[in-house]
């Protein structure tokens, strides 16, 4: 049969988390916005239980900040020194991933990565920048996951979220796809050094 695209099944909580992340990163929920559990429960048509779970999760990811008995609100930007640290750490994780992957990418995997980049180009053409951000992240996540599984994704993700929260810059169209292409090309060529350089150039 024809190779069908992997459709990922997401739990209810994951879908809500995804939606809230988008709201926050897109700026629909600016920093210091207080999240009301009941309100969110109504919005998604379920009870407060799952909502609370998601809030806890996003808090651990650094997008929200919550105090006991006082609810959660959208976190604000980091001061420059912390920002620098986060970039440095994220770069190290991604370079580590590149080194782990080295020459282990299968044809199948390369095809999937290329499909992601094609989607990225489409989103850029449509000027759907929230979608661009999501796809951008999914490209990196694919590599991180390949290298270190959920374990590595879990420690990597908070850095990405915090960086996105800090400056929601919209990378210029051509540059964005190019940067990722360079990473993939270097990986295909088995050039770890070049791939690492390309990754570092993309994380900023």
Partner DNA sequence: AAATAATTTATTGTCGACAAAAAACAGCGT
Partner DNA sequence: ACGCTGTTTTTTGTCGACAATAAATTATTT
| Interface contacts to DNA, rule CB under 7 A | 11-13, 34-38, 45-50, 52-53, 68-72
47 contact, one of its own copies, DNA, none, CB 5-8 Å limit per kind = DNA
Rounded to a whole number of angstroms, the minimum distance from the CB of residue 14 to DNA is 10
145 contact, one of DNA, its own copies, none, CB 5-8 Å limit per kind = none
In angstroms, rounded to a whole number, what is the distance separating the alpha carbons of residues 109 and 35?
39
Q: What is the DSSP string of 105-124?
A: --HHHHHHHHHHHHHHHHHH
Give the nearer residue to DNA in terms of CB position, either 73 or 100.
73
In angstroms, rounded to a whole number, what is the distance separating the alpha carbons of residues 74 and 166?
12
65 contact, one of DNA, its own copies, none, CB 5-8 Å limit per kind = its own copies
85 contact, one of DNA, its own copies, none, CB 5-8 Å limit per kind = its own copies
In angstroms, rounded to a whole number, what is the distance separating the alpha carbons of residues 54 and 86?
23
Name the residue among 73, 66, 79 with its Cα closest to residue 32: 73
106 contact, one of DNA, its own copies, none, CB 5-8 Å limit per kind = none
Give the nearer residue to its own copies in terms of CB position, either 116 or 148.
148
Rounded to a whole number of angstroms, the minimum distance from the CB of residue 155 to DNA is 22
Angle 107-125/173-188 helices, nearest 10 degrees?
170
Burial class (CB in 10 A: 0-12, 13-18, 19+), 7: exposed
Give the nearer residue to its own copies in terms of CB position, either 166 or 171.
166
Give the nearer residue to DNA in terms of CB position, either 71 or 190.
71
Q: For residue 134, what is the enclosing H or E element?
A: helix 129-166
Give the nearer residue to DNA in terms of CB position, either 66 or 100.
66
* Contacting positions for its own copies (CB under 8 A): 11, 49, 52-53, 56-57, 60-62, 65, 68, 78, 81-82, 85-86, 88-89, 92-93, 96, 100, 148, 150-152, 154-155, 158-159
In angstroms, rounded to a whole number, what is the distance separating the alpha carbons of residues 132 and 176?
9
**34-35 and 71-74 strand pairing:** antiparallel
70 contact, one of DNA, its own copies, none, CB 5-8 Å limit per kind = DNA
């Amino acid at each position: 049969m024809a190779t069908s695209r992997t459709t990922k099944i997401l739990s209810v909580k994951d879908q809500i988390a995804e939606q809230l992340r988008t709201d926050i990163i897109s700026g629909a929920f600016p920093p210091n916005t207080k999240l009301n559990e009941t309100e969110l429960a109504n919005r998604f048509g379920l009870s407060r239980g799952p909502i609370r779970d998601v809030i806890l999760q996003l808090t651990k990811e650094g997008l929200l900040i919550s105090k006991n008995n006082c609810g959660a609100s959208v976190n604000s930007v980091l001061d420059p020194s912390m920002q620098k640290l986060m970039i440095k750490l994220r770069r190290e994780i991604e370079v580590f991933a590149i080194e782990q992957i080295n020459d282990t990418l299968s044809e199948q995997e390369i095809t999937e990565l290329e499909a992601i980049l094609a989607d990225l180009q489409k989103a850029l053409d449509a000027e759907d920048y929230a979608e661009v951000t999501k796809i951008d992240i999914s490209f990196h996540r694919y590599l991180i996951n390949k290298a270190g599984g959920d374990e590595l994704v879990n420690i990597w993700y908070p850095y990405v979220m915090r960086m996105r929260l800090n400056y929601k810059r919209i990378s210029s169209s051509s540059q964005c796809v190019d940067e990722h292409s360079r990473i993939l090309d270097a990986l295909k060529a088995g050039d770890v050094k070049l791939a690492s350089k390309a990754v570092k150039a993309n994380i900023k």
